[in-house]
């Protein structure tokens, strides 16, 4: 074991020892004993309310407007009072669909503070996708912006569901204007009595099915995951003292550029809720634009940017990124997901040496908890996804579910206090994904002898485009709704700008007249723009299948890549 790895394990033992800030205890979850942080908040309302202590400190900046913690909580209390006036009870759902903006965060906090279950929806979704999610969660309230309201035609199609809308124009009849609800003075809400196993949050994940699944997490799972982010920060700081000293010497308040969507764990847990708890500042942008991001970094003196690897690559490619007057405040870059492209690793190591850059691996189903490394640990093993967290067990499983020894590849299974309670109203999918408390991730990887996790492949048929997960089956299903489409195979190919691009190979009825343009337009009319295939290859021959009738996507992908390279 290297000296740095030895130091990391020593620091971990120190941080988690009895009486230490991250002391471990055993708790019972579903009849199983699992490790947990003793000092984590017990419930999400308690965690959110702790942010009141930050008072007049700046919290969120958005389009030139500054929100202090005081203003944020004044509006959250007002919206919470409105939710209660509408009769929203603990455990009932409040759905949210907006671009990143302060009001998104306000509604989330207001719902959580009264014990309701926030259910953030994918704001990129079109009407059909939003209606499907609303039908799943059956919210008492749907909070949205004007664009999302238009997409659902002004109607949630859910009985007795109120709509709270953020917008500049006058609201249609029956729609409550956020500005009216949020500006009524209200006393801080008193949170209901909640237990650790009560529901706290529903987040949607694409997964490998044709319809997004809601992931239900308990109060304890969410709070433990958020405390784990603090642990990762402490471990990084204690193993990268030079980088921390350099950041401290600049005297800048920690400020994160939030460009990833708030409906993902990477935006919600690691940025919004972590900043709310710790009194840090966030700068929201509603859309990803690398040129604009560079301007925001300079103007807002950003110290941290976390995003999908493709977003970081686009940022690094901007003219002026290496100019200290442009990005001199930036102390670290963070990447979510699995192994990074070697080109990106090389560029970060060369252009941001001795920084607090890092990587994390986690899933919606584990509230983002899995493995992480930043600073010196990331520089030591940049191809890995980091060291596993203290509150998660990792099993590298063979085809029979049996554990494999270090350095042997298998499916990554995770078990621990932050794992979901299940897929919302979908016991079949839950049973397929869970085994005796273990969540089967669908990712292939291995643990090395020092405890670093390496993710090398995916079992699930999921495409990762700019950090957005796209279920191939969902796009295939959409294509097959065209009567003249006989077969459809959708898969990923590497792409320098987006990480992975969506490609479809489609067999159509002879004489149909369907072409690539028409098929892309068809998908664009039903699914979010980022799910539309970059390339559609139209054939009149049958697609290749194995003797069992399964589509040979690997063969199609290889043929496509070979043709593109030739």
Residue 487, judged by CB atoms within 10 A of its CB (0-12, 13-18, 19+), counts as middle
Expressed as residue numbers, the domain containing 489 is 462-565
> Region 254-282: what's the mean pLDDT?
96
pLDDT recorded at residue 547: 52
**Model confidence pLDDT, tens digit, residues 63-99:** 999 999 999 999 999 999 999 999 999 999 999 999 9
Q: Is 293 left (phi over 0), alpha (psi -120 to 50) or beta?
A: alpha
> Region 97-126: what's the mean pLDDT?
97
Residue 128, judged by CB atoms within 10 A of its CB (0-12, 13-18, 19+), counts as middle
pLDDT recorded at residue 207: 47
Q: Cα–Cα distances in Å, from 82 out to 78, 88, 295, 381?
A: 6, 9, 38, 50
Q: 194, 221, 256 — which closes off a domain?
A: 194
pLDDT greater than 50 at residue 565 = yes
**Model confidence pLDDT, tens digit, residues 427-476:** 999 999 999 999 999 998 999 999 999 988 777 778 888 888 888 878 98
* pTM of the predicted structure, to 2 decimals: 0.87
Q: What is the CATH number of the domain that holds 173?
A: 3.40.50.980
pLDDT greater than 70 at residue 204 = yes
pLDDT recorded at residue 312: 86
| Least confident stretch, 41-55, 138-152, 332-346, 497-511 | 332-346
Percent of the chain with pLDDT over 70: 97
pLDDT greater than 60 at residue 337 = no
Q: Does 556 map to a domain?
A: yes
Q: Does 332 map to a domain?
A: no
> Region 304-332: what's the mean pLDDT?
90
Q: 146, 165, 194 — which closes off a domain?
A: 194
pLDDT greater than 70 at residue 549 = no
468-471 vs 422-423, strand pairing mode? unpaired
Q: Does 159 map to a domain?
A: yes
pLDDT greater than 50 at residue 342 = yes
pLDDT range class, residue 339, cuts 50, 70, 90: low
392-397 vs 304-307, strand pairing mode? unpaired
Question: Where are any strands of DSSP class E within 146-297?
Answer: 162-166, 176-177, 199-205, 213-218, 255-258, 281-284
Q: Does 391 map to a domain?
A: no
pLDDT greater than 80 at residue 282 = yes
Average pLDDT, the chain: 92
Of residues 49 and 482, the one with the higher pLDDT is 49
Q: Does 440 map to a domain?
A: no
pLDDT recorded at residue 209: 47
CA–chain centroid gap for 524, Å, is 23
Percent of the chain with pLDDT over 90: 74
468-471 vs 93-97, strand pairing mode? unpaired
Q: 194, 227, 242 — which closes off a domain?
A: 194
Q: How far apart are CA 80 and CA 86, in angstroms?
A: 10
**Residue 558: how many other CB atoms lie within 10 Å:** 11
Q: Cα–Cα distances in Å, from 209 out to 206, 264, 469, 522?
A: 7, 18, 12, 20
Three-state secondary structure string covering 180-206 = HHHCCCCCCCCCCCCCCCCEEEEEEEC
438-447 vs 453-458, strand pairing mode? antiparallel
Domain total of the chain: 2
pLDDT recorded at residue 302: 97
Q: What is the CATH number of the domain that holds 478?
A: 3.30.300.30
Q: Are 506 and 538 in contact (CB under 8 A)?
A: yes
Q: Does 153 map to a domain?
A: yes
Q: Does 180 map to a domain?
A: yes
pLDDT recorded at residue 208: 44
- Residues in a beta bridge with 117: 93
pLDDT greater than 50 at residue 40 = yes
Q: Does 431 map to a domain?
A: no
Q: How far apart are CA 564 and CA 566, in angstroms?
A: 6
List CB contacts of 164: < 8 A, sequence separation 6 or more.
79, 82, 107, 141, 142, 143, 144, 175, 176, 178, 181
Owner of token pair 């898969």:
491
pLDDT range class, residue 57, cuts 50, 70, 90: very high
* Strand, helix or coil for residue 352: coil
> Region 391-399: what's the mean pLDDT?
96
> Region 219-230: what's the mean pLDDT?
98
> Region 280-293: what's the mean pLDDT?
93
């Amino acid at each position: 074991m290297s000296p740095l790895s030895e130091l990391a394990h020593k620091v971990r033992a120190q941080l988690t020892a009895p009486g230490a800030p991250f002391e471990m205890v055993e708790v019972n979850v579903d009849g199983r004993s699992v490790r947990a942080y003793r000092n984590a908040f017990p419930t999400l309302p308690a965690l959110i309310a702790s942010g009141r202590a930050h008072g007049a400190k700046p919290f969120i900046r958005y389009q030139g407007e500054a929100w202090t913690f005081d203003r944020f909580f004044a509006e959250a209390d007002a919206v919470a009072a409105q939710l209660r006036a509408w009769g929203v009870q603990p455990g009932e759902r409040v759905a949210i669909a907006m671009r990143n903006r302060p009001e998104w965060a306000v509604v989330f906090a207001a719902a959580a503070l009264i014990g309701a279950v926030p259910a953030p929806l994918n704001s990129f979704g079109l009407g059909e996708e939003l209606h499907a999610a609303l039908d799943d969660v059956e919210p008492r309230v749907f909070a949205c912006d004007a664009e999302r309201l238009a997409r659902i035609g002004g109607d949630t199609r859910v009985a007795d569901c109120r709509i709270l809308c953020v917008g500049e124009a006058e609201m249609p009849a029956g729609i409550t204007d956020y500005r009216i609800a949020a500006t009524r003075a209200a006393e801080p809400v008193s949170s209901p009595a909640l237990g650790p196993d009560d529901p706290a949050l529903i987040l949607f994940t694409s997964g490998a099915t044709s319809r997004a699944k809601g992931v239900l997490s308990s109060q304890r799972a969410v709070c433990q995951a958020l405390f784990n982010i603090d642990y990762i920060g402490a471990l990084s700081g204690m193993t990268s003292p030079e980088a921390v000293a350099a950041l401290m010497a600049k005297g800048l308040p920690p400020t994160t550029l939030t460009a990833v969507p708030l409906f993902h764990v990477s935006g919600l847990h690691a940025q919004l809720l972590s900043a709310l708890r710790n009194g840090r500042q966030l700068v929201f942008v509603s859309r990803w634009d690398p040129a604009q991001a560079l301007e925001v970094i300079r103007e807002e003196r950003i110290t941290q940017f976390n995003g999908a690897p493709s977003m970081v690559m686009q940022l690094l490619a901007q003219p002026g990124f290496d100019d200290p007057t442009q990005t001199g405040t930036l102390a670290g870059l963070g990447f979510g997901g699995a192994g990074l492209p070697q080109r990106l690793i090389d560029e970060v190591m060369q252009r941001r040496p001795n920084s607090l850059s890092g990587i994390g691996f986690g899933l919606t189903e584990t509230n983002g908890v899995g493995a992480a490394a930043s600073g010196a640990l990331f520089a030591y093993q940049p191809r890995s996804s980091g060291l596993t967290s203290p509150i998660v067990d990792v099993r590298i499983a063979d085809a029979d579910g049996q554990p494999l020894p270090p350095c042997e590849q298998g499916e990554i299974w995770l078990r621990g206090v932050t794992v979901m309670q299940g897929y919302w109203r979908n016991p079949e999918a839950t049973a397929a994904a869970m085994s005796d408390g273990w969540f089967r991730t669908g990712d292939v990887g291995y643990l090395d002898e020092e405890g670093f996790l390496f993710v090398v492949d995916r079992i699930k048929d999921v495409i990762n485009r700019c950090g957005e997960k796209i279920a191939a089956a969902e796009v295939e299903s959409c294509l097959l709704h065209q009567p003249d489409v006989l077969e459809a195979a959708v898969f990923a190919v590497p792409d320098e700008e987006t990480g992975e691009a969506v490609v479809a190979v489609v067999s159509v009825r002879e004489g149909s007249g369907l072409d690539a343009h028409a098929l892309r337009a068809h998908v664009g009319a039903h699914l979010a723009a980022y799910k539309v295939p970059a390339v559609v290859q139209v054939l009149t021959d049958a697609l290749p299948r194995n003797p069992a009738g399964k589509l040979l996507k690997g063969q199609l992908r290889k043929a496509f890549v070979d043709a593109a390279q030739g």
